[in-house]
Structure 1
């Protein structure tokens, strides 16, 4: 399904990947904050994948 998502929403996928990479590189942020942001991105991905 990830491949379908990438093909159907290439720009959105790139934006979400960039956001995830930036979150991973955050400094001086609690692991809980990183996890919360990752979960928000996951919710967006699931919502968009449901439109396929």
Structure 2
């Protein structure tokens, strides 16, 4: 399913992947803050999947 999203929304998917990578590299940030941001990205991906 992830491939469908990537093919249908390549720019959006690239932006989300970039954001996820940047969040992973955050320094001096609590694990809870990282988790909250990952959850936000996951919600966007799920919303995109629901449009397929």
TM-score (structure 1 length as normaliser): 0.99
**Structure 1 consecutive aligned stretches of length 4 or more whose deviation exceeds 6 Å:** none
| Equivalent-residue separation in structure 2 for 1:4 and 1:21 (angstroms) | 20
Q: Give CA-to-partner distance per residue, 1:11-46, whole Å, 9 cap, x none.
A: 000000000000000000000000000000000000
- Structure 1's unaligned 5+ residue stretches are none
- Aligned length in residues: 52
| Equivalent-residue separation in structure 2 for 1:3 and 1:14 (angstroms) | 12
| Equivalent-residue separation in structure 2 for 1:7 and 1:48 (angstroms) | 12
Residue matched to 1:46: 46
Q: Secondary structure at the match of 2:34?
A: helix
Residue matched to 1:20: 20
